[in-house]
Structure 1
Amino acid sequence: NGTTVEVLNTDAEGRLILADALCLATEAEPDAIVDLATLTGAVEIALGTRVAAVLGNDDAWRDQVAAAASRAGERMWPLPLPADYRPFLDSDVADLRNISKGRGGGTITAGLFLQEFVGAGIPWAHIDIAGTAWWAEGDNAENCNGGTGYGVRLLLELARSFNPPRRAAKKARS
């Protein structure tokens, strides 16, 4: 979308690719966007390996995603996108940095970074599955190791029960 990014950490490259995908999705003017990715190690520190984080620019859409997760048996916890964290992404040489100036709130600032690439008025939710996507030895009582498939049941349930927030708003205005 023309936004310039100062890359200060090449290990935070996934968010750049996701930003491009969000720009492309925005061009289609969808009713809503949901994405999921193993975005930040910070989410595993905050929530562990059993609970994903969900962030978004529209509370009703974020809550619809969380409700679908609950019905699908996949746990998630909402995190805020406070505007006063946005300056942590300010850059002297670009529109924004790919990582925060501060130490804390890594999942939140990554969400704020992604939000910059979602078109105005499009409900969007991001699910950070960095902690839930993979279990290593000792991560779970079931002693299951490897990929968990977290998010598959959630996305199926969300598609099954999809109630487009933008479409509902358009119908209300008609």
Structure 2
Amino acid sequence: LTIKTGVAMQTMKCDMAGAAAVVSATLAVAELGLPIAVTTIVPMAENMPSGAATRPGDVLTMYGGKTVEVLNTDAEGRLILGDALALASEAKPDLVVDVATLTGACEIALGDRVCGILGNDDALVEKVRAAGGRVGEALWQLPISEEMPVKVRTYSKIADLMQHNVDLYGGALYAAAFLQEFVDPDLPWAHLDIAGPAFNKRGPFGHVPSGGTGVTVATLVELATELSGPSGT
């Protein structure tokens, strides 16, 4: 099994921050009465060692039928999020935005005050990034570089996809490329990696408290407000 060190485990109570953000934003959109249809899918898993735990080398069949070789059992988030994105794609919405504390690699790249944003549609990515800017939440676009989907599809010799990057570098890009495999390619999609800003390990600053920050709730509500306006699409 792939298990974090003791120190790294101390803040793992924040590893549900993506789920908390989308639920909180959905409730806010409802309470504000915004004239927009929002479907929220919140996949959850209790990732614990047991006799039935997923092991490195296991092959899973995902929702929709694709098979995935598990390389790192600590990267369970992308597995359940892949199922959620496949389910969301079936509903044929206008767009999909997902939020997750997905990779430590994103925090290494951008620090603990900037969220990463990746996706298959630059216009949507920019719309989300701009919404964040208006409410004081920083998002920085990272690429899904062309070699990453190739790696996702070819690293495994026994499954359709490899769940985790074999190489040391580009972890946030690889994870997004993995998620992209479960999104309808005709569906605008943006992925927010909030691993850094989701939990403030130091003292409060600005409107951000210590501990769980609720990052991207304001961004999602601002995006919904814009999309529900007369010129929203």
Tell me whether the two structures share a fold, i.e. TM-score over 0.5: yes
1:50 matched to 2:89: no
CA shift, 1:144, in A, is: 4.2
Where 2:65 maps in the other structure, the secondary structure is: coil
1:162 matched to 2:227: yes
Give distance in 2, aligned partners of 1:115 and 1:148.
27
Give distance in 2, aligned partners of 1:83 and 1:132.
27
CA shift, 1:85, in A, is: 2.0
TM-score (norm 2): 0.67
Corresponding residue for residue 22 of structure 1: 85
| 1:31-76 Cα deviation digits (max 9, x unpaired) | 0000100000111111011000000001111111111111111001
Query: For residue 66 of structure 1, what is the amino acid of its counterpart?
Result: R
1:66 to 123, 126, 129: 129
Mean CA deviation greater in 143-152 or 154-163: 143-152
Q: Which runs of 5+ in 1 are unaligned?
A: 169-174
Query: For residue 20 of structure 1, what is the amino acid of its counterpart?
Result: D
Corresponding residue for residue 198 of structure 2: 133
Corresponding residue for residue 177 of structure 2: 112
Give distance in 1, aligned partners of 2:93 and 2:205.
40
**Quick one: percent identity of the two aligned structures?**
53
Which structure's relative contact order is higher, taking Cα pairs within 8 Å and 6+ residues apart?
1
Give distance in 1, aligned partners of 2:158 and 2:196.
33
Q: Which runs of 5+ in 2 are unaligned?
A: 1-63
Give distance in 1, aligned partners of 2:89 and 2:148.
24
Query: For residue 108 of structure 2, what is the amino acid of its counterpart?
Result: I
Q: Is the 8 A contact 1:88 1:102 kept in 2?
A: no
Query: For residue 127 of structure 1, what is the amino acid of its counterpart?
Result: L
Give distance in 2, aligned partners of 1:144 and 1:62.
27
Corresponding residue for residue 172 of structure 1: none
Q: How many residues align?
A: 165
CA shift, 1:141, in A, is: 5.6
| 1:82-111 Cα deviation digits (max 9, x unpaired) | 121223222100011110121100000000
Query: For residue 126 of structure 2, what is the amino acid of its counterpart?
Result: D
Give distance in 2, aligned partners of 1:88 and 1:98.
10
2:164 to 99, 114, 120: 99
CA shift, 1:120, in A, is: 2.3
Corresponding residue for residue 104 of structure 2: 41
Give distance in 2, aligned partners of 1:71 and 1:144.
19
Where 1:10 maps in the other structure, the secondary structure is: coil
1:147 matched to 2:203: no
CA shift, 1:137, in A, is: 2.9
- Point out the structure with max Rg over C-alpha: 2
Q: Is the 8 A contact 1:136 1:146 kept in 2?
A: yes
Q: Is the 8 A contact 1:29 1:122 kept in 2?
A: yes
